[in-house]
Amino acid sequence: MEKWQDNRAWLLILPVFVIVAFSAVVPLITVVNYSVQDIFGPGQRLFVGTEWFREVLGDPRLHAALWRQFGFSALVLVLEIPLGVLIALAMPKKGWGVSLSLVLLALPLLIPWNVIGTIWIIFTRPDIGLMGAALNAMGLAFDHTARPLDAWITLMLMEVWHWTPLVALLAYAGLRAIPEPYYQAAKIDGASAWAVFRYIQLPKMRGVLTIAVLLRFMDSFLIYAEPFVLTGGGPGDSTTFLSIYLVKIAVGQFDLGPAAAFSLIYFLIVLLFSWLFYQALQNVGTGANR
């Protein structure tokens, strides 16, 4: 085929450039801009270099929030991925049960995030909440507004309830895509249920599980609305995650410079870990790095 050279072709991709510029590049550059200046008001600004970065990196409250954040994301992955896969394995493969279980699973995903927080506040209230009151009636003191451990338990329950269905749906789609002869061959080879899972189902779910891990890591690492509504970051700072702390600095104290510097670091951490997860999941078990 003959190759055509025509610079007017640039016009065709111009809309994409404009959209990406206004939706991603300009805001990002603005953040970079804020992160190296001290802004007192319109027209009053001072270049400060790396001062905000040094301030933010030395902030002990931020360190605490970062570790809390890693702990939260790790718990989310450790709980939701295996649980989601188990649910997917247990789901019916045909008949009316399929539609029913899909609808039931999808329900939590359809609820707005701040409403989820509200639902769980009511559910766990020690005086009237179904769970909170029941636990207290059994003699187990439970109050997520006063006790950090209770706040974490509530938060994890809410998070698992809310997002495990996503993992389950992805895993289920991956399982359904395995052609029948794989199971037939395994039967003929005399494979146990565990061997079928380990050598057929798990490797065949690699793609969907990679997506599940990445989505759950990014979402949990950036989590804001649910814990903000449920605990507001408390009691004390015990559930103050990075984005909650970030909003406190940016909106609460109006420290745009440190907030911008912090945002950039935050962004890089998410990017770095997503890349690490992606590489690890693509290569595990393929012998590519041997």
Partner 1 sequence: MARITLREVAHSYQVYPGGETDFALKRIHQVWEDGGAYALLGPSGCGKTTLLNVISGLLSPSRGRVFYDERDVTVQSPEQRNIAQVFQFPVLYDTMTVYGNLAFPLKNRGLDGAVIRRRVEEVAEILDLTPQLQSKAAGLSADAKQKISLGRGLVRSDVAAILFDEPLTVIDPHLKWQLRRKLKEVHEQLKLTLIYVTHDQVEALTFADQVMVMYQGELVQVGTPQELFENPRHRFVGYFIGSPGMNFLPCRVQGDAAQVDGVGIPLDPEIAGRAAAARGALELGIRPMFLEVHQAPAEGRIAVRVKTVEDQGSFKIVTVKLAGYSLKARLPEGRPVPEAEAYVRFPLDRTRIFCDGRLLS
Residues making contact with partner 1 (CB under 8 A): 179, 181-182, 184-185, 187-192, 195, 199-200, 203-204, 285-287
Beta carbon nearer to partner 1, 39 or 191: 191
Beta carbon nearer to partner 1, 189 or 232: 189
Task: Say how many residues make up the chain.
Answer: 290
CB of 210 to partner 1, least distance (A): 15
CB of 285 to partner 1, least distance (A): 4
CB of 284 to partner 1, least distance (A): 9
CB of 207 to partner 1, least distance (A): 12
User: Is there a contact between 49 and 36 (Cβ–Cβ < 8 Å)?
Assistant: yes
Beta carbon nearer to partner 1, 16 or 288: 288
Beta carbon nearer to partner 1, 71 or 285: 285
CB of 92 to partner 1, least distance (A): 18
Element (H, E) at 39: strand 37-41
Beta carbon nearer to partner 1, 99 or 286: 286
Long-range CB pairs of 201-208, under 8 A, 24+ apart, other chains included:
201/89, 201/175, 203/285, 204/174, 204/175, 204/177, 204/178, 205/85, 205/171, 205/174, 205/175, 206/281, 206/282, 206/285, 207/174, 208/170, 208/171, 208/173, 208/174
